[in-house]
Chains A and B, each alone.
Chain A
Amino acid sequence: MKKKILLTVEGMYCSNCCMKLEGIEDHLAGVERAEASYHKGTMTVVYDEAKVSEAAIRAEVKRLGYEVTAAQALQI
């Protein structure tokens, strides 16, 4: 099932950080869309729950060097 979450991400300091985070849609199977905003310090992720979990997405964000401080489910 498709899900959409809004993550509050700490550690971004420029648009290159946004591109780095958005790269998870290329290499994390199950993630369909990832859009980060440095201005707002957030990242929206649309993913297939059957292929990837929220925990896996958070872990990937952490692996890239950032910290998820909050998560909120959104309507698709």
Chain B
Amino acid sequence: MVNIALAFVTGLTTGGLSCLAVQGGLLASSLAGQIEKDVQAANLKQRRKKTRRNQKNPVQRTALVQPILAFLAAKLLAYTLMGFLLGAAGQMFQLSPFARAFLQIAIGIYMLGAALRLLNVHPIFRYFVFEPPAFLRRFIRQKAAQSADSLAAPVFLGLLTVFIPCGITQAMMAAALSTANLLEGAALMFAFTLGTSPVFFAVAYFATQLGARLERHFMRIVAVVMLVLGIYAIDTGLTLAGSPVSITRSINTVLAQAGSPPAGFEQMPPGPGMTGALAVDPYADDEGVITINVENTGYDPSVVQAPAEMPLRLRLVSNDVFSCSLVFVIPALNFQAFLKSTGEAWVDIPAQRAGTRMPFACSMGMYTGVIIFN
């Protein structure tokens, strides 16, 4: 849910502007016929009435609403379907946590490259954007010109935008692939594309032509946002891979230690026949139990001290949780599971040597934690 909300906000802000820069020409082509008809009708009316009333605003703006909405609806449909297919493709390949981490890092590197392209740092970064083949570009352009009069043109061109995704859209498509879930992939692309729609509509409706200088200014903002998102994606990929070197993990660890002290191993009162200070959960045969509460904003505790040299059982407890923290991953054990919104799940942890650190995280590497074996 967090990722989908983030996708929507990305679309609403920089995604909309980036998409408009790449696909705005298609939208303009689909509206050209309508605008030309309106100008001709207004000029004819002006000549008959011998009045200059409509001279400054010859275009009937209300006539633009339908084709713009048709274009955007078609675009939304096409990208949602694309997200569905990407999610299905990701699901088919059954990515392991390390594979997902690798994909996440690759997405981050791609976004960095795309951002450096927008900033025109070096021509080599131009290859970070997909360039449709010449025959497809010609087909799209000629189709726009031929069917400029009917509502079919905006619908058709809206569907074709899927072949010319902007840089941020391409990054979202990669994210949809990494969800490995067809519904989640579709939801992600739907949310992002929906987010881009208000900017598209507003700019097209008011027929505002961004001057070259203003357009480049917005492109710089888009580039900076992509840089930040790229660094974030690489960082969460490192977290997902269990790397101790990650900004997210460091911040989470500092926050956890600044708040309540790390949870220790459960101290149960010794049962009959048991000796020593350390006891075990009587429901686990000679195995200890670590409990972690899965919450909408992460895991509690996020830093857990556990005894080394003995097998343990990890109990994951969730209660009315709907965030991505439900997709729990322990890279070192190659373990990942989609937990129930409310319920318990158990994970067997083999004996670990003293000093071992076992990171865990959500599937996107956003929420993290670590089990430290002493």
Residues of A bordering B, CB below 8 Å: 13-16, 18-20, 22-23, 26, 35, 37-39, 41, 65
Q: Are A16 and B140 in contact (CB under 8 A)?
A: no
Interface size on B, residues (CB 8 A): 27
Interface string of B113-133 (1 = CB under 8 A from A): 000011010010011011110
Residue of B nearest to A11 (CB): B212
Residues of A within 8 A of B117 (CB): 13
Residues of B within 8 A of A65 (CB): 212
Asked if B219 lies at the interface with its beta carbon under 8 angstroms from chain A, I say: yes
Stretch at the interface among B18-26, B247-255, B325-333: B18-26
* B residues 172-220 in Cβ contact with A at 8 Å: 212, 219
Residues of B within 8 A of A41 (CB): 123, 126
Residues of A within 8 A of B123 (CB): 41
Asked if B45 lies at the interface with its beta carbon under 8 angstroms from chain A, I say: no
Q: Are A16 and B24 in contact (CB under 8 A)?
A: yes
Asked if B354 lies at the interface with its beta carbon under 8 angstroms from chain A, I say: no
Residues of A within 8 A of B25 (CB): 16, 19-20
Residue of B nearest to A20 (CB): B25
Q: Are A38 and B141 in contact (CB under 8 A)?
A: no
Known: A38-B126, A39-B126, A41-B126. A15 touches B141 (CB 8 A): no
Interface centre among A19, A37, A39 (most CB of B within 10 A): A19
Q: Are B132 and A15 in contact (CB under 8 A)?
A: yes
Which of B26, B118, B145 has a CB less than 8 Å from the CB of A26? B145
Residue of A nearest to B129 (CB): A14
Q: Are B21 and A16 in contact (CB under 8 A)?
A: yes
Q: List 13 A-B contacts (CB under 8 A).
A: A13-B120, A14-B166, A15-B130, A15-B131, A16-B25, A16-B164, A18-B131, A19-B140, A23-B141, A26-B145, A35-B134, A41-B123, A65-B212
Residues of A within 8 A of B166 (CB): 14
Known: A13-B219, A14-B21, A38-B126. A26 touches B141 (CB 8 A): yes
Asked if B48 lies at the interface with its beta carbon under 8 angstroms from chain A, I say: no
4 shortest A-B CB distances, which residue pairs?
Answer: A14-B22, A16-B25, A16-B22, A35-B134
Asked if B353 lies at the interface with its beta carbon under 8 angstroms from chain A, I say: no
Q: Are A19 and B126 in contact (CB under 8 A)?
A: no
Residues of A within 8 A of B120 (CB): 13
19 more contacts with CB within 8 A, not counting A15-B130, A16-B26, A19-B140, are: A13-B118, A14-B21, A14-B22, A15-B129, A15-B132, A16-B21, A16-B25, A18-B131, A19-B25, A19-B141, A22-B137, A22-B138, A22-B141, A23-B141, A26-B141, A26-B142, A37-B131, A39-B127, A39-B131
Q: What's the least CB distance linking B258 to chain A, in Å?
A: 45
